Amino acid sequence: MARRFARHERRSVTDLDGVWDFAFLGDVDPDAVAVEAIAFEDVMAVPGSFDATPAYAGKRGLAAYRTRVHVAETGRHRLVFDAVHHWCRVFWDGEPIGEHSSGFTRFTADIEHAEAGTVEIVVLADNRFGERSPLHLEHFDWYHFGGITRSVELHRLEDTWIEHLRIDTVDLDARRVSVAVDYYGAAQGASLVIECGDVLVEERVDLDPSGRIEREIELPGAELWSPSNPALHPVRVRLGEDDMCERFGLRKVTAESGRVAVNGEPLTLRGFNRHESHPNFGHAQPIGQLVADVQQLRDLGCNFVRGSHYPQDPLFLDLCDEAGILVWSESIGWQYPVERLTDADFVAAQLEHIDEMVAAARNHPSVIMWGILNESPSGEPEVRPAYERLLGRLRELDPSRPVTYATNHVYDDVCLDLVDVVSVNCYPGWYVDGIADIPGELDRIAAHVDAAGHAGKPLVISEIGAGAVPGWHDQNHSMWTEEYQAELLETVIRHLAEGQDRISGLGIWVLGDFRTSEAKHMLLGRPRGINDKGILDEYRRPKQAYGAVRRLFRAMRE
């Protein structure tokens, strides 16, 4: 699995990425599919989005993937999928062992007793919209690619194994951290070893069938993690014959006095929203693309990126940890209607998705806030219970980070008291008014937020921007030209840097162009079927605005 460090030394892990057998089954009921009768007459890359490939471009339906793997030792095994879109069912030698709904998050499927020998693994992956994938809706302003879009591994689990490893900063000054080990498997006198730098903890512990072990350790002299000094520390835990390693950063995030602060240092967030989408690869971003995106963010002078509108690739988070780029991690969502947010099954699906998002990203120091429900109807009183429940779950899982959501109707929002950071999507100069009206509208938003009782909370403009068709120019610098986009973003950045002191964060919409939904009403407002608001085109080639933003962001940094 693509990561910047090895998570296991003792546990046997087999990388299953590569070329799998493939069959596109189309508009069929997964329950009616006889796995043993599938004719696999093609191949597909894993990770990959099958509907971004030439042979299956734009197709929606059920797809089947198959690979074979050698199991060296009889016993408990686990398949680990970093993401499958949108719904899937997993088979082990013809037997179903698990299902999962919603892409962009890691899930597992266990085989309690696997015999040694060659095993056939089949995955049915469905990229259609419907009841099996309630969090994906066709009207979203991005194209929903399908397939096994992130890495796959096979793990051999011992009788006792580590399920999760969680590291939290307890005391910055004392360099004290808490290490929590979630495990399964009863044992008396099991060996527990915790290693971090020069610190070594060794003891014997009695284990229940499942539970948690928590220890606090101090790391004298350890460097703190910050955007200017992204110092990372690996911690390795061994429990019995199993092990797990995570990297973490010693740091504390707060949201008070109108600023997000790291280790007590107030920050002005400057950066972009980012979609994981590419014409050739869909949601399956190649390693080179992830590295290039981080390089371009750093070149632009950014210290912040919002993962819009779903959890980002774990490798991308690794790279942000190393680069000191602050991340807003957000659950799946884009303008959900009221009827979804008042449906108990939908809320339950969101809660499960949030659990998976936090489990995968919690130890990344670059992740400084959690978000939910982009541009959903938070102005409607009947959806407030959903906001309370989802934001409450985030606080239950991780009280160490601020929570937020992006509102696109700040003037009538009824849920802003529930967040730690007020985040506003607005498009003056594009959907409404002209470029000259931008400073006044930004100031009106700030004044309204303060008058509504949120003056102490950080205020972030989480989306703002303009479309620009790549290579389009005219002498009038009219809308859709590269010149218009550059002028609009210059106006935004200059006002936030020089014309006010209330707004403390900016997420420009968007880093790179991306394909939009196939919904007719959306296509009519998206030239080329692409959301063209990127300062890079869909192949990551810079537009004119790139240079303007780079110059101004770098000046803010100095």
By DSSP bridging, strand 161-171 and strand 176-184 are: antiparallel
Can you spell out the DSSP letters for 266-320? Answer: EE-EEEEEE---BTTTBT---HHHHHHHHHHHHHTT--EEEETTSPPPHHHHHHH
Q: Using the Cα atoms of residue 371, residue 374, residue 378 and residue 379 in order, give the sign of their dihedral.
A: positive
pLDDT at 66 over 70: yes
Contact in structure between 518 and 127 (CB atoms under 8 Å): no
Tally of residues, the chain: 558
Q: Name, in order, each residue with C-beta under 8 angstroms of 260's C-beta and a sequence gap of 6 or more.
A: 253, 254, 266, 267, 269, 326, 368, 369, 402, 421, 458, 504, 505
Which whole number is the average pLDDT over 452-470? 98
pLDDT at 158 over 90: yes
Question: How high is the pLDDT of residue 557?
Answer: 83
497 has which bridge partners?
A: none
Q: Band the pLDDT of 333: cuts 50, 70, 90.
A: very high
* Percent of the chain whose pLDDT exceeds 70: 99
Both structure tokens of 385: 């219970």
Both structure tokens of 74: 């009889």
Burial 319-342 (b: 16+ CB within 10 A, else e): bbbebbbbbbbbbbbbbbeeebbe
295-299, 330-334, 522-526, 542-546: range with lowest mean pLDDT: 522-526
Alpha-carbon distance of 2 to 152, in angstroms, equals: 9
Alpha-carbon distance of 143 to 103, in angstroms, equals: 13
Residue-range domains of the chain with CATH: 12-156 (2.60.120.260), 161-251 (2.60.40.10), 261-557 (3.20.20.80)
Both structure tokens of 328: 């807003």
* Percent of the chain whose pLDDT exceeds 90: 96
Alpha-carbon distance of 558 to 552, in angstroms, equals: 10
Can you spell out the DSSP letters for 441-487? Answer: HHHHHHHHHIIIIITTS-EEEEE----B-TT---TT--TBSHHHHHH
Query: What CA dihedral angle connects 273, 325, 163 and 157, to 10 degrees?
Result: 100
pLDDT at 525 over 70: yes
Contact in structure between 190 and 54 (CB atoms under 8 Å): no
Question: How high is the pLDDT of residue 253?
Answer: 98
Question: How high is the pLDDT of residue 2?
Answer: 59
pTM, to two decimals = 0.97
pLDDT at 558 over 70: no
Residue indicated by tokens 């933003």:
549
1-15, 327-341, 375-389: range with lowest mean pLDDT: 1-15
Q: What is the pLDDT of residues 393-418, one digit of tens each?
A: 999 999 999 999 999 999 999 999 99
Q: What is the pLDDT of residues 268-302, one digit of tens each?
A: 999 999 999 999 999 999 999 999 999 999 999 99
For residue 78, which phi and psi values (nearest 5 degrees)? -140, 130
Q: What is the pLDDT of residues 369-391, one digit of tens each?
A: 999 999 999 999 999 999 999 99
Q: What is the pLDDT of residues 210-252, one digit of tens each?
A: 899 999 999 999 999 999 999 999 999 999 999 999 999 999 9
Q: Band the pLDDT of 259: cuts 50, 70, 90.
A: very high
Which whole number is the average pLDDT over 312-324? 97
